[in-house]
Structure 1
């Protein structure tokens, strides 16, 4: 049977983590392994993780990508699912992810959007339609394939092993999902399922500073990778391969 591992990076986020792990415990298809990556927490994150039966992986190097990568490397599953500590998956989330990969042996990466909670309707609408909607449109146009959203992400373990030495998993101030999306091999298959929705906290949008930091990290991630190799070159390479495959 296919094993599924869920990876959750966490830093001083025990209250949110409690909700995430509670939602995972109620899944129609339970995960075979849940890994909480402690990124140096000083609160009771570890106690919460252990109470819900999760495995703890320590990553003292601060940053979302160092923490996520440590979890990916430690996962024993054939399919790795990634949530943030404030993600709240629906009851059938793990089951739907498993079904998607079982139904498409060529699928390497699967992602979906977030439905924001914890603020007012205006903030939720702007976060879902302008921030996430803009990200989906822009990254898809720039890279020539659907984007990845780290709060709601799944991939084959062997796909991670193929790209893990290319990504910038040692850097702190970048978006791990965007960096990972940029470094996917041109033959890898990506699907963004708009119906595969998880709850995501709107707290980053409660302050201008939080929103500005996200935008700064996004442009920093793009700039870093563009200096190494034009993203348009990556897009052209993927399109050329897709065209050749359609011509067979």
Structure 2
């Protein structure tokens, strides 16, 4: 099996990074290493990681400082460049990978034709998580069937790619200095441009935070419309590719209301509402 490195970009994540690291070290198959790439955080992110390292020796947790350019792209790149595994797994500092995540990544890459893979997600801070996971699986399968390989996507909160594939496209990926694109889709497009296969791993499950719903409507629209800007930056224009933008815009308000209500309920003396798990 290919050795898996885990890369976790982080910026001011002191509140959540410990939980993510606990999930990363609690795998059925251990990762070769776990790299937290700290993009010049002004909070206690680095201190939390160092404390975790001391409490969990032998798990390959590494803290990498990225104090140069700010943003997800240079931070991601630093982590990918530092990784020593044959496969580089990636999720966010607020993500909770399933206990068998590394095992499932290894299973995906047992197929030598796979250059990158992405899996389904659920929102760990919303109710009805099993239902949300089932819905996410259905949506992703539909999207994968609807578009050809060159338009396929990676999801930065739940993805992996071969180190050899990263080296091949390293100098081609968009730097995105103004933070206008979806960097994970940019990765997918460069991989597909090289004729490299992107696979979907239905058992490669990660829990992610719904905190994006706390964005103002204006900020959320800007975030979601990155889909179109990313494809346009590659000269790709297709009505089919507008589907993710339309979908996320349509669920923003109801999902935001659910998140707000759930947070109030979960903080009440009675605890979480029925059906929250």
TM range (shorter): 0.7 to 0.9
CA deviation after TM superposition for structure 1 residue 204, in Å: 0.2
Aligned length, in residue pairs: 225
Instruction: Pick closer, same or farther for the CA change 1:134–1:96 going to 2, 3 Å.
Output: closer
State the partner residue of 2:47. Answer: 47
State the partner residue of 2:185. Answer: 178
1:146·1:192 contact (CA, 8 Å) conserved in 2? Answer: no
CA deviation after TM superposition for structure 1 residue 217, in Å: 2.6
Q: Which of 221, 224, 232 is residue 212 of structure 1 equivalent to? A: 221
1:193-226 superposed Cα distances (whole Å, 9 cap, x missing partner): 2332110001102332442231133332222222
Structure 1 runs not aligned, ≥5 long = 233-248
SS at match of 2:225: helix
CA deviation after TM superposition for structure 1 residue 173, in Å: 2.9
State the partner residue of 1:194. Answer: 202
1:169 aligns with 2:178: no
> Which structure would you say has the larger Rg?
2
SS at match of 2:104: helix
Distance 1:4 1:129 in 2: 25
SS at match of 2:76: helix
1:29·1:94 contact (CA, 8 Å) conserved in 2? Answer: yes
1:36-56 superposed Cα distances (whole Å, 9 cap, x missing partner): 111121111111222233212
Distance 1:133 1:5 in 2: 28
State the partner residue of 1:101. Answer: 109
State the partner residue of 1:15. Answer: 15
Distance 2:45 2:79 in 1: 16
1:155 aligns with 2:164: no
Distance 1:140 1:73 in 2: 33
Counterparts of 1:81-120 in structure 2 under 5 Å?
81-102=89-110, 104-120=111-127
Distance 1:156 1:144 in 2: 18
Distance 2:50 2:103 in 1: 23
Distance 1:81 1:43 in 2: 25
Distance 1:135 1:106 in 2: 20
Distance 1:30 1:152 in 2: 17
What's the TM-score once normalised by structure 1's chain length? Answer: 0.80
SS at match of 1:183: helix
Instruction: Pick closer, same or farther for the CA change 1:96–1:44 going to 2, 3 Å.
Output: same
